[in-house]
């Protein structure tokens, strides 16, 4: 994608019902003013699950349902670009945690098939300098 605008650009990523969106930025060159904001749903008022700029490390973004709204802002000037892809995954397979207290629960697959899942735990900006994360994993399969 190559654009040159200060107006926001909106991309609504949708997958079939019962699935969730998995969005990955694979390559980028953006000026410092540019930003990419991912909303968990179809509206800019829906929760933000990804907020990136040129100096922030990109990580995969997951929706909780079948829609993810990607808003790209302040892309002006030559030579800026963004490469990304999205796929679907079974609903509930991937989760973002952005609060100090959260849980993540998976259902066992119906068959003996293997299952890939991702739990992305993001740092909490107002943690008072405390960066400890305590993770307890219990397998009930």
- Taking only the tens place, the pLDDT of each residue in 23-43 is 988 877 777 788 899 999 999
3-state secondary structure (DSSP) of residue 89: strand
The pLDDT tens digits of the residues spanning 72-98 come to: 888 776 777 778 889 888 877 766 665
The pLDDT tens digits of the residues spanning 45-75 come to: 999 988 888 777 788 888 989 999 999 888 7
- Among 1.10.540.10, 3.40.190.10, 2.40.240.10, 2.60.120.290, name the CATH number for the domain at 9-93: 2.60.120.290
Q: Two tokens at 93?
A: 């397979």
Q: Two tokens at 117?
A: 């899942």
The angle subtended at Cα 34 by Cα 48 and Cα 75, nearest 5°, is: 120
Give the start-to-end residue ranges of the domains of the chain. 9-93
**In this predicted structure, what is the pLDDT of residue 45?**
96
Is the pLDDT confidence value at 108 over 60? no
Determine the average pLDDT of the residues in 113-127: 57
pTM of this prediction? 0.70
Which residues are CB-contacts of 37 (< 8 A; sequence separation ≥ 6)? 44, 48, 50, 51, 52, 70, 71, 73
Cα distances (angstroms) measured from residue 117 to each of 19, 54, 103, 104, 135: 13, 27, 14, 10, 15
Grade residue 136 by pLDDT with cuts at 50, 70 and 90. Answer: low
DSSP code string of 10-77: EEEEE--TTEEEEEEEEEEE--TT-EEEEESSSSTTSPEEEEEETTS----EE-SSSEEEEEEE-B-S
**In this predicted structure, what is the pLDDT of residue 26?**
84
Grade residue 17 by pLDDT with cuts at 50, 70 and 90. Answer: very high
- Distance between CA atoms of 60 and 83, rounded to whole angstroms? 13
């Amino acid at each position: 994608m190559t654009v040159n605008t200060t107006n926001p650009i909106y991309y609504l990523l949708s997958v079939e019902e019962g699935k969730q969106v998995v969005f990955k930025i694979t390559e980028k060159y953006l000026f410092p003013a540019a930003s990419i904001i991912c909303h968990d749903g179809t509206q800019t008022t829906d929760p933000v699950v990804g907020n990136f700029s040129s100096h922030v490390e990109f990580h995969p973004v997951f929706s909780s349902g079948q829609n993810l709204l990607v808003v790209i802002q302040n892309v002006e000037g030559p030579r800026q670009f963004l490469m990304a892809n999205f796929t679907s995954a079974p609903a509930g397979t991937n989760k973002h945690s952005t609060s100090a207290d959260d849980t993540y629960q998976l259902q066992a697959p119906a068959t003996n098939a293997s299952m890939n899942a991702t739990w992305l735990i993001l740092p909490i900006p107002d943690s008072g300098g405390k960066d400890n994360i305590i993770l307890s994993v219990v397998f009930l399969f």
